[in-house]
Amino acid sequence: MADGPSGVSDAFQVFLHEAPEHAGAWMEAVQRLGAASALDDKTAALAYLAVLAATRLTSGVPFHASQARALGASRDEVISAVLVGLPAVGNAVTQALPAALAAFDAPR
């Protein structure tokens, strides 16, 4: 699915619009989980990119690559985060690389 101007996938935008109570509960859980993490924001964003790439959930990659950039991650750090799963899951992670770099390189 194409991404909207915010980098959020169309599917997630529909979720937010059509199921606002569920979306609110989901976002609250996400925020609480983030607050419980011992990772700093940039490291957490890069780790999340690695998980998205390893699980082939590429629809979230543009948003999270842009978020990592906003938190101070370099282009090389984003590439490394996407590719960190190579030894564990193989080259499937490379499928996320184009979306991550396109989002990272997009004008702010």
Mean pLDDT, the chain cut into blocks of 10 residues (108 residues total): 64 94 96 94 97 94 95 98 96 96 94
Residue 35 and residue 26: Cα distance in Å, rounded? 14
Whole-model pTM? Answer: 0.84
Q: CB neighbours (10 Å) of residue 9?
A: 20
For the chain, list the domains and their CATH numbers.
Answer: 9-38 (no CATH), 40-108 (1.20.1290.10)
Residue 92 neighbours by CB under 8 Å, 6+ apart: 53, 54, 56
